[in-house]
Amino acid sequence: MHDDLNWAIGGEAGDGIASTGKIFAQALSRAGRHVFTSKDFASRIRGGYTAYKVRTSVDQVQSVVDRLDILIALTERTVDENLDELHENSVVIYDGDRTEFSDFEAPGEVTGLDVPLKDLAEDAGGAIMRNIVALGAVCAVADFPIENLDESLEKRFGGKGESIVENNKQAARLGAEYVEENYDDEGPRYSLETTDEDYVLLNGDEAIGMGAIAAGCRFYAGYPITPATDVMEYLTGRIEQFGGHVVQAEDELAAINMALGAARAGARSMTATSGPGIDLMAETFGLVATSETPLVVANVMRSGPSTGMPTKQEQGDLNMMLKGGHGEIPRFVVAPTSVAECFHKTVEAFNLAEKYQLPVYLTADLSMAVTERTYPPEEFDMDEVEIDRGKLVDEDDISTWQNEKDQFKPHAVTADGISPRAVPGTEGGVHMSTGLEHDELGRRTEDTDVRVEQVDKRYQKVDTAREREDFDYREFGDSDADNLVISWGSNEGTLVEALGYLDEDDPDVRVVSVPYIFPRPDLTEEVEAADQVVVVEANATGQFADVIEHDVLERVDRINKYDGVDFKADELAGEITETLA
Partner 1 sequence: MSSENVRFTDFKSDKQPTWCPGCGDFGTMNGMMKGLAETGNSPDDTFVVAGIGCSGKIGTYMRSYALHGVHGRALPVGTGAKLANPDLEVMVAGGDGDGYSIGAGHFVHAVRRNVDITYVVMDNRIYGLTKGQASPTSRPDFETSTSPDGPKQPPVNPLALAMAAGGSFIAQSFSSDALRHQEIVQEAIEHDGFSLVNTFSPCVTFNDVDTYDYFRDSLVDLSEDDDYDRHDYDQAKDAILDADKEYMGVLYQDEDSTPYHEAHGVTENMSEIPDGAPDGATDLVREFY
In the region spanning residues 261 to 280, those forming contacts with partner 1, defined by CB under 8 A, are 261-269
Instruction: Determine if 580 is a binding residue for partner 1 (CB under 8 A).
Output: no
Nearer to partner 1 among residue 12 and residue 283 (C-beta): 283
Nearer to partner 1 among residue 179 and residue 262 (C-beta): 262
- Smallest distance, partner 1 to C-beta of residue 435, A: 6
Going through 158-278 in order, the beta strands assigned E by DSSP cover 200-203, 217-222, 245-248, 268-273
Nearer to partner 1 among residue 353 and residue 512 (C-beta): 353
Residues 366-395 that bind partner 1 (CB under 8 A): 377, 380, 382-383, 385-387, 389
Order of all β-strands in the sheet with 217-222: 245-248, 217-222, 268-273, 295-301, 359-365, 332-334, 516-518
Give, in order, the Cα–Cα distances in Å from 43 to each of 39, 73, 254, 367, 481: 12, 16, 34, 15, 37
- Smallest distance, partner 1 to C-beta of residue 202, A: 5
Say if residue 10 is exposed, middle or buried (CB neighbours under 10 Å; 0-12, 13-18, 19+). buried
Residue 220 CB contacts under 8 Å (≥ 6 apart), including other chains: 212, 231, 232, 235, 239, 244, 245, 246, 247, 259, 269, 270, 271, 272
- Smallest distance, partner 1 to C-beta of residue 201, A: 6
Which region among 222-230, 243-251, 473-481, 517-525 touches partner 1 (by CB under 8 A)? 243-251
Which region among 123-131, 161-169, 201-209, 359-367 touches partner 1 (by CB under 8 A)? 201-209
Task: Give SS3 for 271.
Answer: strand
Nearer to partner 1 among residue 253 and residue 481 (C-beta): 253
- Smallest distance, partner 1 to C-beta of residue 344, A: 12
Going through 166-257 in order, the beta strands assigned E by DSSP cover 200-203, 217-222, 245-248
> For partner 1, which residue of 221, 342, 353, 533 counts as binding (CB under 8 A)?
221
Nearer to partner 1 among residue 264 and residue 520 (C-beta): 264
Give, in order, the Cα–Cα distances in Å from 401 to each of 79, 356, 419, 428: 69, 17, 9, 10
Interface with partner 1 (CB under 8 A), residue total: 72
Instruction: Determine if 247 is a binding residue for partner 1 (CB under 8 A).
Output: yes
- Contact in structure between 532 and 511 (CB atoms under 8 Å): no
Other beta carbons less than 10 A from residue 241's beta carbon: 8
Nearer to partner 1 among residue 23 and residue 530 (C-beta): 23
Instruction: Determine if 81 is a binding residue for partner 1 (CB under 8 A).
Output: no
DSSP β-ladder status, 516-518 and 332-334: antiparallel
- Smallest distance, partner 1 to C-beta of residue 391, A: 15
Other beta carbons less than 10 A from residue 291's beta carbon: 23
Instruction: Determine if 159 is a binding residue for partner 1 (CB under 8 A).
Output: no
Residues 30-69 that bind partner 1 (CB under 8 A): 30
Residues 277-336 that bind partner 1 (CB under 8 A): 283-284, 287, 291
Nearer to partner 1 among residue 210 and residue 514 (C-beta): 210
Which region among 4-12, 163-171, 234-242, 552-560 touches partner 1 (by CB under 8 A)? 234-242
Nearer to partner 1 among residue 138 and residue 287 (C-beta): 287
- Smallest distance, partner 1 to C-beta of residue 70, A: 24
Beta bridge mates, 49: 12
Residue 473 CB contacts under 8 Å (≥ 6 apart), including other chains: 512, 513, 514, 515, 516, 521, 523
- Smallest distance, partner 1 to C-beta of residue 26, A: 8
Which region among 44-52, 79-87, 103-111, 202-210 touches partner 1 (by CB under 8 A)? 202-210
Task: Give SS3 for 526.
Answer: helix
Give, in order, the Cα–Cα distances in Å from 343 to each of 231, 364, 369, 455: 12, 11, 11, 32
- Smallest distance, partner 1 to C-beta of residue 550, A: 30
x/- map, 403-422, partner 1, by CB under 8 A: --x-----------------
Q: If phi over 0 gives left and psi between -120 and 50 gives alpha, with beta otherwise, what is residue 91? A: beta
Which region among 44-52, 92-100, 113-121, 210-218 touches partner 1 (by CB under 8 A)? 210-218
Other beta carbons less than 10 A from residue 273's beta carbon: 25
- Smallest distance, partner 1 to C-beta of residue 406, A: 11
> For partner 1, which residue of 391, 431, 457, 461 counts as binding (CB under 8 A)?
431
Say if residue 252 is exposed, middle or buried (CB neighbours under 10 Å; 0-12, 13-18, 19+). buried
Instruction: Determine if 236 is a binding residue for partner 1 (CB under 8 A).
Output: no
Instruction: Determine if 353 is a binding residue for partner 1 (CB under 8 A).
Output: no
> Pick from 485, 515, 479, 516: which is nearest to 498 by CA?
485
Nearer to partner 1 among residue 385 and residue 499 (C-beta): 385
Nearer to partner 1 among residue 226 and residue 407 (C-beta): 407
- Smallest distance, partner 1 to C-beta of residue 522, A: 32
Instruction: Determine if 243 is a binding residue for partner 1 (CB under 8 A).
Output: yes
Instruction: Determine if 87 is a binding residue for partner 1 (CB under 8 A).
Output: no
Instruction: Determine if 501 is a binding residue for partner 1 (CB under 8 A).
Output: no
Instruction: Determine if 253 is a binding residue for partner 1 (CB under 8 A).
Output: yes
- Contact in structure between 177 and 146 (CB atoms under 8 Å): no
- Smallest distance, partner 1 to C-beta of residue 171, A: 23
d(CA 521, CA 535) in angstroms, rounded, equals 15
Cis peptide before 227 (omega within 30 of 0): yes
x/- map, 180-199, partner 1, by CB under 8 A: ------------------xx
Instruction: Determine if 250 is a binding residue for partner 1 (CB under 8 A).
Output: yes
Instruction: Determine if 153 is a binding residue for partner 1 (CB under 8 A).
Output: no
Cis peptide before 107 (omega within 30 of 0): no
Other beta carbons less than 10 A from residue 327's beta carbon: 11
